[in-house]
């Protein structure tokens, strides 16, 4: 009888041990580290972390600002017409891009130049050195900044087609002191902004990929200018705006547009908090090239920014103020063009 009891107990224990894994699988207490979803179903820790990463929102402004900041550490430079001519002669020319109209391109363009519109910048070959030019250098400066943010190796032709040709039928438009230069008042007292403004919000794409976000921001930019005469009217009417001089501190102190604040192009990203995103922004430099770059970058970041046409050279004829850096037509060599 005792032997049968021992056998029965042994069988019962065997059955119980065999059933334990099944009982654990069908229910029982959850692991201390187990995570439930919204329906109370236990999910894997790693699966939950992946879902949280997918749901994390990307701030487009931060992505674009980082790209702008990186570009400002290596800003696109201006190439002189004489240097480009030598590169062409030596068969060492970059990929040349004309941003002028198709009609003006047909009248005459730099040998080897390809004609595109401003909106086609993202279609350029990525493995080429790029040289962009326009009429006076300002629109191409905007393009150079955008291409630089997209990580192109790019330069701008200083003063554009007006530095290449002496034929008015070819260069079409250039800085002329008689018609483009004013004598508006300047001030020497520095202006400071004590308020700190929030940054704009960007919603250009549904993608969370950084490259897609930057490219979408680039595609929002168009060329935007203001003349000295129009800016003078806005100042007289006390319009709510931000005027920025990106000239040197010494030249700013020598004379600047009334109300203008001052910081260099390379420190643009560090000074965004000084700019009201709900009011227009007017930027100027010496001839318009650096200001045009700043304007392109600001518009990428969601500001309503405009470049002063021909820069300080359009505001003042005083060489002590414009620093004698204005375009001089007498220095143009006059190189050949092709049609």
pLDDT tens-place values along the chain, 339 residues long: 455 455 554 555 555 555 555 444 444 444 455 555 555 555 555 555 554 455 468 999 999 999 999 999 999 999 999 999 999 999 999 999 999 999 999 999 999 999 999 999 999 999 999 999 999 999 999 999 999 999 999 999 999 999 999 999 999 999 999 999 999 999 999 999 998 999 999 999 999 999 999 999 999 999 999 999 999 999 999 999 999 999 999 999 999 999 999 999 999 999 999 999 999 999 999 999 999 999 999 999 999 999 999 999 999 999 999 999 999 999 999 999 999
Looking at the structure, do residues 194 and 317 belong to the same domain, yes or no?
Answer: yes
Could you tell me the two tokens for 66?
């980082």
C-beta of residue 104 within 8 angstroms of C-beta of residue 337: no
In a domain, 31, yes or no: no
Domain membership flag for residue 27? no
* Together in a domain, 189 and 291: yes
Residues 186 and 314 in one domain: yes
Structural domain contains residue 2: no
Residues 185 and 318 reside in one and the same domain = yes
**3-class DSSP assignment, residue 32:** coil
Looking at the structure of the chain, the number of domains it has is: 2
Q: Does any domain span residue 18?
A: no
Shared-domain flag, residues 307 and 197: yes
Largest CA distance in the chain: 127
Does residue 34 lie within any of the structural domains?
no
How far from 252 is each of 12, 188, 189, 298, CA to CA, in Å? 96, 7, 9, 21
Q: Are residues 316 and 190 in the same domain?
A: yes
Q: For residue 324, give both structure tokens.
A: 């004698």
**Gap between the Cα atoms of 153 and 234, Å rounded:** 38
169 shares its domain with 183: no
Residue 57, pLDDT score: 82
- Same domain as 148, residue 196: no
| Phi (first) and psi of residue 117, to 5 degrees | -90, 165
End-to-end CA distance of the chain: 116
CATH number for position 197: 3.40.250.10
Whether residue 222 sits in one domain with residue 89 = no
Cβ neighbors of 190 (< 8 A, separation 6 or more) are 252, 253, 262
CA–CA dist 80, 139 (Å, integer): 16
159 and 186 belong to one structural domain: no
311, 233 contact by CB (below 8 A) = no
Residue 117 inside a domain? The answer is: yes
Q: Which residues of 37-70 are buried (b: 16+ CB within 10 A; e: fewer)?
A: eeeeeeeeeeeeeeeeeeeeeeebbebbbebbbe
CB atoms within 10 A of CB 316: 22
Report if residue 330 sits inside a domain: no
Q: Where are the alpha helices (DSSP H) in 27-59?
A: 45-55
How many Å apart are CA 286 and CA 141, to the nearest integer? 13
Domain limits at 161? 60-174
Rounded-to-integer distance, Cα 137 and Cα 140, Å: 5
- Is residue 43 assigned to a domain? no
Specify the DSSP element, H or E, that contains 242.
Answer: strand 242-245
Query: Is the same domain home to 189 and 299?
Result: yes
Which of 187, 189, 178, 218 lies closest to 202 in space, CA to CA?
218
- Tell me, yes or no, whether 121 and 217 share the same domain: no
């Amino acid at each position: 009888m005792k032997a049968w009891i021992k056998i029965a107990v042994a069988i019962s224990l065997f059955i119980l041990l065999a059933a334990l894994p099944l009982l654990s699988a069908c229910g029982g207490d959850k692991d201390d580290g187990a995570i439930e979803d919204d329906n109370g179903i236990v999910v894997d820790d790693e699966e939950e972390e992946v879902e949280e990463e997918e749901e994390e929102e990307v701030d487009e402004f931060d992505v674009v600002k980082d790209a702008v900041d990186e570009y400002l550490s290596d800003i696109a430079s201006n190439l002189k017409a004489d240097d480009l001519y030598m590169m062409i002669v030596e068969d060492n020319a970059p990929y040349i891009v004309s941003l002028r109209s198709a009609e003006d391109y047909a009248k005459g363009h730099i040998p080897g130049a390809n004609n595109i519109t401003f909106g086609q910048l993202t279609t350029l070959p990525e493995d080429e050195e790029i040289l962009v030019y326009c009429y006076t250098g300002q629109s191409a400066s905007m393009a150079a900044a955008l291409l630089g943010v997209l990580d192109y190796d790019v330069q701008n032709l200083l003063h554009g087609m007006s530095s290449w040709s002496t034929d008015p039928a070819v260069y079409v438009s250039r800085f002329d002191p008689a018609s483009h230069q004013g004598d508006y008042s300047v001030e020497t007292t520095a202006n400071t902004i004590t308020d700190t403004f929030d940054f704009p919000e960007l919603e250009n794409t549904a993608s969370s990929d950084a490259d897609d976000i930057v490219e979408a921001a680039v595609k929002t930019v168009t060329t935007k200018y203001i003349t000295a005469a129009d800016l003078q009217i806005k100042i007289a009417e006390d319009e709510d705006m931000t005027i920025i001089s990106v000239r040197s501190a010494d030249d700013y102190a020598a004379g600047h547009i009334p109300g203008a604040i001052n910081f260099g192009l390379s420190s643009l990203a560090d000074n965004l908090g000084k700019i009201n995103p709900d009011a227009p922004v007017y930027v100027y430099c010496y001839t318009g090239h650096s200001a045009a770059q700043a304007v392109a970058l600001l518009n990428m970041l969601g500001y309503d920014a405009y470049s002063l046409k021909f820069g300080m050279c359009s505001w003042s004829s005083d060489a002590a103020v414009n620093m004698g850096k204005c375009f001089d037509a007498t220095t143009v060599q006059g190189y050949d063009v092709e049609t």
